A = this chain, B = another copy of it.
Amino acid sequence: MANVQWMTKPLDLKDVTIAGGFWGRRTETNRRITLPIEYQQCKATGRIDRWKWRTGQPNEPHVFWDSDVAKWIEAAAYSLAARRDDRLEKQIDEAVDMMAAGQLADGYLNCHYSRVEPQNRWTNLRDCHELYCAGHLMEAAVAYYEATGKRQFLNVMRRYADHIASVFGPGEAQKRGYPGHEEIELGLVKLYRATGNRRYLELSRFFIDERGRQPHYYDVEAKARGEQPRGYHFRTYDYCQAHKPVREQSEVVGHAVRAFYLYAGMADVAAETGDEKLLAACRRLWNDATQRKMYITGGVGPSAGNEGFTHPNDLPNDTAYAETCAAIALVFFAHRMLNIECEGQYADVMERALYNGVISGVSLDGKRFFYANPLQARPAVLARSGSHIAITRQPWFPCACCPPNVARLIASIGRYAYSASPTALYVHLYAAGSASPEVGGAKITLTQQTDYPWDGEVKLTVKLDKPAAFALMPRIPGWCREYELAVNGKSVRAAVSKGYARLLRRWSDGDEVTLSLAMGVERIAAHPSVAADAGKVAIQRGPLVYCLEQCDNNADVLSVALPDRARLTAKHSRKLLGGCVVIEGRGLAVSTAGWAGRLYRRAEEVKTKLVKIKAIPYCLWANRKAGAMKVYIPRA
């Protein structure tokens, strides 16, 4: 690619409405239930009032508490962009006031270090989340500024960013460090865009470029603390993607959230600075992630031990960690690559994660959260592989990264639905609502009517003051075998390239595009190198991966198999789980007769019988009675 740059940009959140349907309901629940709950949890645990903490009191501010509040503010800000809310703004303003008051004269802003161990500022970037917290605060500040126009938080973060830029850099008196947990790379790019100050972009690039260089900063830093670098808990710098310079990396390694925040930051910097080599690394890492290391749910990072990656095709189902935050981070990376390259493969993965491994992180009622998102669950077993793997969503976690992360993603789902260039409007996600970009020289409004993902019918209506020429680019999802497109009721055969149909014309007010995506029930196999899925299939319909949950089935779901010839039927169920499409069919259940007192028997003695089975969308499991669940089903 000759010119690395943003081919498209997402729309401002203020220019997108999500109303009704799958995401409308989720954003509404997020605004009405989840955000207040998360505020209360932050309040009750001392996170909101962390700046009031004094030595000897309970609730000592943890090294990443700043980030928890930051993500909640960011989520709230996105919600405010759609609908102002005085009470919510007051809560944020109070939190910001405390931060502003706590900011040190030199601009430094970290509650833990200011209050608990001021002597140790910037002494342990490898482990202690200082720059990570700063990054989340920057993202929050930009979001709040864009939603409300209020500048206080933004200014606090500019001062902090200036301070960081003075401490870190290539100068002789500066530290050549970079974050152990990546995130600030993203925050700095957003701050650059919001302020126009290129220093922040350059600092982001600095952090990316320094990463993994020799002499290794984390070695130097450990020795300065009087520690042996070998004493690193995670043994190798793979854990934080600092094992080699990022431009030399081709394999997705280590902690999954860190990995994808880094890659998203790399994509940002590549696009903003026109850096082809950096983008090439992004592409290599993308391929490795999506071709060898991603669950069918879009979950990433199979292992609880390092909250991250192990080896290619190591995708165990019952011990899948697949942290909610990691799937979100994959969405961030996918979204950036999508806006750089406008290829459907990025939107396909983004959609896969959003509808499955991300949204599974929060209950339908918005009150409880999954940290890990396993693909198979047994009530008694899940504790085996890490305390974050559970079969019931939890109200909160001591390490509370996931709840506000999923909240900020849901609140900003509109950012992921559309992108525009001066001449084209891309529709990435089908979700009822509207978008009002400038395209083709005109300010237009595109409304979407759809019940997606429950069916594949989408109606797009163009509203504009006077006719304008631009390309409307509805996405043809990778999962879709057949589709029909019509403009104003007339079937059209549009050119489809890289996952998008190109409808280039002079659009008039009221023009209607109808897209009909055939949504069959599919059996999906994983690559034969995925040992965990050998001999098994998953059920998928549209973007939704399905699972068998015990409470819908009489047969033991963990032993049931699926005959290749069994017909699977999609059925709309208005009452179930707030309305969804279930998949029904017949499975082969193992009779428990003759098993008493026996653990092993000749297979020929084992009786099976055909039984009704019902599968629900994976993202909706664990909203009823706790029980077994599985995504991958043995073929029979």
Contact = CB atoms under 8 A, between A and B. Distances in A.
A636 B302 CA distance: 27
A634 B628 CA distance: 21
A384 B386 CA distance: 13
A523 to B, nearest CB: 4
Given A383-B310, A558-B531, A525 B602 contact: yes
Interface stretch (A390-398, A491-499, A509-517, A532-540): A532-540
A378 B287 CA distance: 22
Contacts of A595: 527-528
Interface string A577-598: 0000000000000101001011
Interface in A280-297: 287, 290-292, 294, 296
Interface stretch (A38-46, A112-120, A264-272, A312-320): A312-320
Contact of A522 (B602, B630, B635): B602
Contact of A558 (B302, B381, B383, B529): B529
A67 interface: no
Interface in A297-332: 302-303, 305, 310-312, 314, 316, 318-319
A537 B602 CA distance: 9
A556 to B, nearest CB: 6
A530 B532 CA distance: 15
Contacts of A172: none
Contacts of A312: 380
B603 A523 contact: yes
A601 B535 contact: no
A535 B636 contact: yes
B531 A376 contact: yes
Contact of A635 (B305, B378, B636): B636
Nearest to A379: B311
A558 B311 CA distance: 15
A532 B423 CA distance: 53
A286 to B, nearest CB: 11
A561 interface: yes
A224 interface: no
15 contacts: A290-B599, A302-B384, A311-B381, A318-B532, A319-B319, A378-B531, A523-B604, A524-B600, A524-B601, A525-B601, A525-B606, A529-B559, A535-B559, A535-B636, A603-B635
A599 B561 contact: no
A531 B599 contact: no
B534 A634 contact: yes
A586 to B, nearest CB: 15
A344 to B, nearest CB: 14
A518 interface: no
A526 interface: yes
Given A290-B599, A294-B599, A534-B559, 14 more contacts: A291-B597, A311-B380, A316-B319, A378-B531, A524-B601, A525-B602, A525-B606, A527-B599, A528-B592, A528-B595, A529-B556, A534-B558, A535-B536, A634-B635
B311 A528 contact: no
Counting from the closest, the 4 A-B pairs by CB-CB distance are A535-B634, A528-B559, A311-B380, A528-B590
A566 to B, nearest CB: 12
